[in-house]
């Protein structure tokens, strides 16, 4: 199946073809009930079905599509850095919008997890927390300042909500620090966070360096999910 790099949300026809479908999953021997419920949710999630039909590697592609349709954070010709890029949905969307090509890549993603290639984008298999990661990301863009830095990074969950929140907020801090160093004036910073309160110091830092800061939750973010996205617009430089 060819990959969708158009960066556009699917049409209503795609939605209607997937409506009213439901797959029931039986609990297999040795499988936890929670795992069965997760699998059933995946099989019946319309965004998962649409992603498969339209060639996106994950449902998360629609989160960026929806955010971008409303806030216009990525435009043709922009340069984009995607932190925590696996499995590659945000890179696919970014490549489609920016018109990034193999000869002149404008999108670079990084993750320590394995990813399939994204035509038109550069993928670095590396932990963003490594000391040399920022330099390698910028080198992939010929040291041209990015217009947008995206971060869908989240720490592996422990099951303890407060601990998970703090660990993910640390990743937000690291991503923001990188953005403040390399973003082009007027640029955008988008980062995953969790409901539970954004540290006031981090929020103050964003407001000091960007013209506006928003919390956004795209429609494709699952009901009941505690995830939010922090969007900072208009980097002051």
Angle between the N-to-C axes of helices 61-71 and 89-98, in degrees from 0 to 180, rounded to the nearest 10: 40
Tokens representing 74 are 């990525």
Task: Let me know: does 157 contact 142? Beta carbons within 8 Å.
Answer: no
Is residue 70 pLDDT above 60, yes or no? yes
Convert the pLDDT of each residue in 139-194 to its tens digit.
999 999 999 999 999 887 777 777 877 888 899 999 999 999 999 999 999 999 87
pLDDT of residue 3: 44
Scored b (16 or more CB within 10 A) or e, 175-193 reads bbebbbebbbeebbbbbbb
Confirm if 227 and 182 have CB atoms less than 8 A apart.
no
Q: 32, 126, 162, 192: which is the annotated catalytic residue? A: 192
CA 122, CA 101: separation in Å to the nearest integer? 10
Q: Name the average pLDDT for the chain.
A: 83
pLDDT at 157: 75
Q: How confident is the model at residue 67 (pLDDT cuts 50, 70, 90)?
A: very high
Q: What is the mean pLDDT of residues 53-77?
A: 93
Peptide bond before 82: cis, by omega within 30 degrees of 0? no
| Confidence bin at 12 (pLDDT 50/70/90) | very low
Q: What is the dihedral of CA 216, 81, 186, 143, to 10 degrees?
A: 170
Q: What local confidence, expressed as pLDDT, does residue 193 receive?
A: 85
Q: How far apart are the first and last CA of the chain?
A: 42
With 80 as the cut, is the pLDDT of residue 117 above it? yes
Given a contact cutoff of 8 angstroms between Cβ atoms, the answer to whether 192 and 167 are in contact is no
145 noted as active-site residue: no
The residue with tokens 């000391």 is 131
Q: Under a CB-based contact definition with an 8 Å cutoff, are residues 90 and 80 in contact?
A: no
Which are the contacts of 205, defined by CB distance < 8 A and separation ≥ 6?
176, 180
Could you give the domains of the chain?
12-54 (no CATH), 61-235 (3.40.50.150)
Residue 27's pLDDT is 52
By CB neighbour count within 10 A (0-12 exposed, 13-18 middle, 19+ buried), where does 4 fall?
buried
């Amino acid at each position: 199946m060819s990959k969708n790099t158009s960066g556009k949300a699917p049409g209503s026809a795609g939605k209607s073809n997937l409506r009213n479908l439901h797959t029931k999953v039986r609990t297999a021997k040795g499988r936890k009930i929670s795992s069965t419920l997760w699998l059933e949710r995946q099989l019946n999630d319309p965004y998962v079905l649409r992603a498969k039909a339209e060639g996106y590697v994950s449902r998360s592609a629609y989160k960026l599509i929806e955010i971008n349709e409303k806030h216009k954070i990525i435009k043709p010709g922009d340069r984009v850095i995607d932190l925590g890029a696996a499995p590659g949905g945000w890179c696919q969307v970014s490549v489609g919008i920016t018109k990034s090509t193999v000869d002149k890549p404008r999108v670079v993603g990084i993750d320590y997890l394995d990813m399939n290639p994204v035509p038109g984008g550069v993928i670095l298999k590396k932990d963003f927390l490594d000391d040399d990661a920022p330099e390698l990301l910028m080198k992939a863009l010929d040291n041209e300042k990015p217009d947008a830095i995206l971060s869908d990074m989240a720490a592996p969950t422990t099951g303890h909500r407060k601990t998970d929140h703090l660990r993910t907020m640390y990743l937000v801090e690291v991503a923001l620090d990188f953005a403040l160093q390399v973003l082009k004036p007027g640029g955008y910073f988008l980062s995953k966070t969790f409901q539970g309160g954004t540290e006031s110091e981090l929020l103050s830092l964003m407001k000091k360096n960007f013209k506006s800061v928003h919390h956004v939750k795209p429609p494709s973010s699952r009901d009941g999910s505690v995830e939010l996205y922090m969007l900072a617009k208009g980097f002051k430089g």
